Each structure stands twice: as C-alpha cells, then as structure tokens.
C-alpha cells in the first residue's frame, strides 16, 4: 500500500515491534492465540477501513453537521452510518473484550494502534465506537451478569452504542454539584429526573439503541461527590427477548454546535420530564450499577480510559496534519534559498527553506512523541492486567495512573500546536477549506477540554498522582528514566549527550516537586499546577524520545535518520523550555493567588 497521509504504518511497526516488543505478550495466556501475523493483520484491516470508509466522509461530516429534523430525530450524512457499519462488520469493536463477551482478547496496545487510523481519518465518526467501548468495559467490570448480558453485550457487538452522562448545565466539570435525582422503586429499578449537558453521542439514529451511563443522586444521598451513584438508562427499554422495546423517557432537547468534531453529536438531554413519553411514567427507568454512593468511583474507570483515548485522538490529528503539511511542502514550490542570488533561478519546494523545515521538525517531534506516549500507556494497560509477576503488574498500574493526565493533556496541547504549524506551512491556503489542515485544527481544539481541562489534569497530577503513597509512582517512573539514561550512555554519541541532559532535568523536576509541597499548603502548591504539568509532560516525552533513539540503534534507513532529527530538535528546542517553567515553580510565585478578580 502506498504511503498514507492518515498515519505512518512504518512508525507504528517500529514502536510496537522494535521498541515495545509487543509480540512477547503472546506468551501470556490471555493473548496466546495471537501472534505477530495477527497483530499485523489487524493493523492492515484498520488502515484499509480508515482509508476506504472513514477518510472520505471526514469533510462531508464537517460541512453537513448533525441537526434535529422535523420529526425530532437527528439527521446526519448516510456515509457516517455506512462507515460505522463497515467497522462493526469487521469485528474490530470486539477486539479487546473477553471471549465470554464475544471478544478477540487482543492486546490493548495493538487495539490502540489500530484505532489511531480511524481517529486520524475521521475522529468525529469514530467517537461513537470509542465511547461505546468504554461504556461496555465499565459494565463488564462492575455490572451484574444480567446487566452485562442485557446492556454490555449488544454494545460490544456494535448493535448498540453507549455514552457517559456526567455534566449538567449548571455544574460542568464540578460533578459534586450535579442535581439529577434517582428514586428507587419497589421492583428495584430507579426513576431518574434531571438534565445532562455536553453528552457526546447522546442521541442519533446510527444504532438500534443507546445505553446511557448516568450520574445521579438518591434522595438521602450525602452532598458532594460521595453522594453520587451510577445508573444504566437506555434510550429504549429492552424487551424480554433482548430486542429493542418501548422508548424510555430520555429526550433530546437540543444539539450543541461545535467548531469542530462535528460528526459526533453533542447533546442536551432531559431525563424523566415526560418529553419522550408524554403521559407515561414519572421518570426515566434506570438500573443501579454496583452500590449507591460509588458512582464516581465506577465512572472514573471509564473516564481514565477516555482520557488516554482523548490524548490518542489529539495525537492522531496532529500526526495526520504533519503528514499533510509534509506532502504539501514537498510539492509546493515558492521562493529561493538565501544563497541563490539569481532571480531567474526556478522556485524551490517549500521544504528547502530552513524555517519550513523547523516547523515540520516541530510537528514531527510532537506527533511522534505523542504516539510513543499513547502506545506506552496502552502497553501499561496490558502489563497491569496480564503480567505474571504481581509486583511488576502493580508498578505498571501505578505508572499508568501517574501518566494518565500527561497522556491526555500533552498531546492535546502540543499536537494542537502541530496543527497550527501545519496551517502555517500551507500559508494562505492553510486557513481555507481547500485543504484539510484547517479542519484538523478545529477538530483538535476540542481535545484540551474533553474529559477534563488542562487545569483539571494538572491538579490531578500535582495534587494527587505525584504525592500519593509518598511519591511511589514518581519513584517507579524515576527508575524507568534512570534505566533509559544508563542504556543511552552505554550507546555513546548523541544518545549519551541527551541522557546527561535528561538526567539533569529529571533531577531538577524532582527537586521542584519537593519545593512546591514543602510548606504543606495545597493552594500554594497548586496555584501554578498547569506549568508543572507542561514541564512534567516535556520531560516524559524527552525520556520517550531517548527510548526511541536507543531502539533505533545504528539503523541507517531514512526512517531512522528522521527519528534522530526529531529527537535532536526536541532536545535542542523543547526540553530547554522546562528550565524557565521549573524556575517559576520553584519561586512559589503567588501572582494568581494574590490577584483581586475585580481588576480583571
């Protein structure tokens, strides 16, 4: 297959096989029926489906965004439904699930690599199966056998889709302030009333049914997050034979019209207001997942998966934007090099200009660094679930928890920057709809907000993850960084020089982390949590670039030279920017704390 502008198969193969050595996973019982050929076949299939079904609809779904028809149903291009049907027919939606649920038990890291093709081809269309996967995974983990059979299995099979209905108009990300109410009935079910906002995939006609996972409070629940429970609330109630029955009281009130990511409906839903079933029951029928009061604990299972997947989506958009701008820079001729004085000399391709090469290298370092981060975290999922040594599995779980806010936020920030540079490489054409890069930027601009803003991720990282257990997770990461530094020093040359820089920066990051918490004042420590997240993320990605260089070894293909060039850029241009951030943090600056909001 010709070189793609969607993703780089060569890079995926390098990261999966030369770096992460994923074929070793088949030695474990869960993955024993797979091999390298299986993994490659899945990637081949993903590339084919993304190229033939998802990429062609991307522009149409953007220019013909969903709307509510006269009959109250969502209207979307038929191409979206057709692409999703092709994806379902391929069997890929079942890839990571257990055999008992009809799944393939594919390693999560391979599934994530395959998913990157769809996220890059049309992230808005692929959001439906992505959300459904997390929904079914949560139910498979915490639901009763009956709930799994009734609600999770149809989602795994791709016949139904699923959502997570958390936010409310008045609460946003402050989930402790939600007011949706759930009242227990004599038959053990619940009736829910309330309003949910920003629900991705909350209504559409792309599947037989939609399974909403809804956060709500019971009448006697305590205030705050500890009083929140989780409920299964289907759009249509299942009949006794498992088929789709009567409409539940879940009503679409309206669609939010977004700057990008338009193929994914974003909805305002009313539960139990009688809008969907006039004159019917009082409240939407729901079923409790697990125990009352533990809803947020269960939902975080899905939210943490979603956060890594949001980072993966941001990476994919940055990656395909880089490939498009690289192609454009190679074929578009404009200007002449500064050392060519003769005005009759023919114009040269844009890639011949040093500043254009700078922008391309920056994109490459962000996109390929983010891909390594996402796949590393996906590999940690497999390690935490299947490694035969319990201590190693636990360390993988700790490391994944620590890196989750980074995996969500770093690609969302820096691959958006890559999309910005892709527009710049295109010049005036870049901000027109003649080229896809302007849509990629709009699509990606949502990811710094999806599943928790940078500020929320920063507080999670600095306020919880780096300090929990006396910094155990930070110690696990430190051991990995130290091992990489040692391997790079042994390799000599550029890797050894980069190892010294990484070692110094990591040591300074640890010192500053201690400074931030030495007074025991959370408000002071977290006042500048976002610069901390940015510095931490850059150090992590610098470490992963050094990991890639060690894996490249003495490789002499153009691909290997490209890896070296991107690593050189990251260590020359990006890692040094952590210095001013760490200096600011160490100063314990109180500018934001001391500010009188009335002066703004």
Q: Give the DSSP per-residue string, 336-396.
A: --TT---TTSPP-BGGGSHHHHHHHHHHHHHHHHHHHHHHHHHHHHHHHHH-SSHHHHHHH
Q: How far is CA 367 from the centre of its chain?
A: 13
The H helix count followed by the E strand count for the chain is 19, 12
291 by DSSP, 3-state: which?
coil
CA atoms of 516 and 434, how far apart (whole Å): 48
User: Is 429 exposed, middle or buried (CB count within 10 Å of its CB: 0-12, 13-18, 19+)?
Assistant: middle
288 by DSSP, 3-state: which?
strand
The catalytic position among 451, 534, 547, 574 is 451
DSSP line for 447-479? TTTTTS-HHHHHHHIIIIITTGGGTHHHHHHHH
- CA-closest candidate to residue 427, choices 350, 483, 369, 479: 350
| pLDDT for 1 | 44
CA atoms of 399 and 393, how far apart (whole Å): 10
pLDDT tens, position by position, 147-200 = 999 999 999 999 999 999 999 998 877 888 899 999 999 999 999 999 999 999
Phi/psi of residue 231, nearest 5 degrees: -135, 145
Contact present, 421 and 415 (Cβ < 8 Å): no
The whole-model pTM stands at 0.96
CA atoms of 190 and 287, how far apart (whole Å): 6
- CA-closest candidate to residue 86, choices 46, 121, 117, 123: 46
Phi/psi of residue 212, nearest 5 degrees: -90, 135
CA atoms of 253 and 273, how far apart (whole Å): 11
Q: Count how many residues are written for the chain.
A: 600
Contact present, 200 and 265 (Cβ < 8 Å): yes
Phi/psi of residue 242, nearest 5 degrees: 90, -10
Query: 201-220: string of b/e by CB count within 10 Å (b at 16+)?
Result: bbbbebbebbbbbbbbbbee
Q: What angle do CA 239, 241, 245 make, to 5 degrees?
A: 20
CA atoms of 304 and 294, how far apart (whole Å): 16
- Integer-rounded Cα Rg, in Å, for the chain is 25
- CA-closest candidate to residue 172, choices 192, 196, 191: 196
Q: What H or E segment, with its residue span, contains residue 191?
A: strand 190-200
C-alpha dihedral, 559 to 560 to 566 to 571, nearest 10°: 170
| pLDDT for 74 | 98
Contact present, 481 and 506 (Cβ < 8 Å): yes
Q: Is 451 a catalytic residue?
A: yes
Contact present, 311 and 407 (Cβ < 8 Å): yes
CA atoms of 73 and 67, how far apart (whole Å): 8
Q: Which residues of the chain have pLDDT under 70?
A: 1-2, 274-281
Contact present, 443 and 260 (Cβ < 8 Å): yes
Contact present, 114 and 34 (Cβ < 8 Å): no
Contact present, 75 and 69 (Cβ < 8 Å): yes
DSSP line for 239-266? PTTSSEEEEPSEEEEEE---SS-TTS-E
- CA-closest candidate to residue 30, choices 86, 88, 121, 103: 103
| pLDDT for 563 | 98
Contact present, 34 and 345 (Cβ < 8 Å): no
- CA-closest candidate to residue 129, choices 148, 105, 104, 157: 157
Contact present, 573 and 355 (Cβ < 8 Å): no
- CA-closest candidate to residue 374, choices 3, 71, 1, 7: 7
- CA-closest candidate to residue 533, choices 482, 584, 598: 584
| pLDDT for 275 | 59
Whole-angstrom CA distances from 68 to 59, 118, 252, 278 are 20, 26, 9, 19
């Amino acid at each position: 297959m010709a070189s793609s502008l969607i993703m780089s198969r060569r890079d995926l193969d390098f990261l999966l096989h030369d770096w992460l050595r994923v074929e070793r996973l088949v030695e474990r019982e869960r993955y024993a029926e797979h091999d390298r050929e299986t993994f490659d076949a899945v990637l081949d299939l993903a590339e084919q489906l993304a190229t033939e079904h998802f990429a062609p609809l991307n522009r149409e779904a953007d220019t013909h965004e969903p709307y509510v028809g006269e009959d109250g149903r969502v209207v979307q291009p038929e191409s979206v439904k057709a692409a999703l049907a092709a994806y379902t027919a391929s069997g890929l939606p079942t890839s990571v699930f257990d055999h008992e649920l009809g799944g393939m038990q594919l390693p999560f890291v391979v599934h994530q690599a395959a998913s990157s093709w769809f996220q890059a081809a049309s992230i808005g269309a692929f959001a439906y199966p992505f959300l459904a996967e997390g929904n079914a995974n949560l139910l498979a983990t915490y639901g009763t056998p009956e709930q799994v059979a009734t609600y999770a299995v149809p989602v795994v099979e791709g016949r139904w889709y699923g959502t997570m209905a958390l936010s409310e108009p008045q609460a946003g990300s402050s989930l402790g302030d939600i007011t949706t109410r759930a009242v227990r009935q004599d038959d053990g079910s619940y009736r829910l009333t309330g309003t949910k906002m920003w629900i991705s995939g909350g209504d559409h006609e792309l599947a037989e049914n939609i399974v909403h996972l809804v956060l709500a409070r019971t009448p006697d629940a305590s205030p705050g997050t500890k009083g929140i429970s989780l409920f299964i609330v289907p759009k249509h109630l299942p009949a006794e034979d498992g088929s789709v029955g009567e409409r539940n009281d879940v009503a679409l009130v309206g669609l939010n019209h977004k700057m990008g990511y338009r193929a994914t409906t974003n909805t305002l839903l009313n539960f139990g207001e009688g809008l969907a079933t006039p004159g019917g029951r009082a409240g939407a029928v729901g079923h409790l997942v697990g125990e009352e009061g533990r809803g947020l604990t269960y939902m975080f299972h899905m939210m943490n998966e979603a956060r890594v997947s949001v980072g993966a989506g941001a990476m994919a958009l940055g990656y395909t934007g880089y490939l498009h701008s690289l192609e454009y820079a190679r074929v578009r001729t404009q200007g002449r090099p500064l050392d060519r004085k003769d005005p009759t000399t023919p114009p040269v391709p844009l890639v011949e200009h040093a500043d254009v090469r700078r922008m391309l290298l920056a994109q490459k370092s962000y996109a390929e660094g983010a891909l390594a981060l996402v796949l590393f975290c996906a590999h940690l999922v497999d390690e935490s679930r299947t490694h035969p040594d319990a201590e190693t599995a636990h360390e993988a779980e700790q490391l994944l928890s620590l890196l989750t806010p980074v995996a969500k936020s770093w690609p969302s920030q820096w691959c958006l920057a890559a999309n910005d540079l892709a527009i710049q490489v295109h010049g005036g054409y870049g901000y027109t709809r003649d080229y896809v890069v302007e849509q990629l930027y709009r699509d990606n601009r949502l990811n710094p907000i999806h599943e928790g803003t940078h500020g929320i991720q920063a507080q999670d990282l600095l306020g919880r993850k780096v300090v929990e257990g006396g910094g155990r997770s930070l110690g696990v990461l430190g051991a990995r960084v130290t091992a990489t530094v040692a391997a790079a020093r042994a390799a000599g040359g550029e890797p050894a020089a980069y190892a010294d820089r990484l070692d110094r920066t990591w040591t300074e990051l640890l010192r500053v982390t201690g400074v931030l918490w030495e007074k025991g004042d959370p408000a002071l420590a977290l006042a500048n949590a976002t610069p901390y997240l940015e510095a931490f993320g850059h150090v992590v990605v610098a470490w992963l670039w050094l990991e890639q260089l060690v894996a490249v070894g003495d490789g002499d293909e153009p691909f290997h030279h490209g890896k070296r060039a991107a690593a050189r850029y990251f260590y020359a241009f990006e890692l040094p920017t952590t210095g001013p951030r760490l200096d600011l943090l160490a100063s314990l600056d109180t500018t934001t704390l001391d500010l009188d909001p009335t002066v703004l």
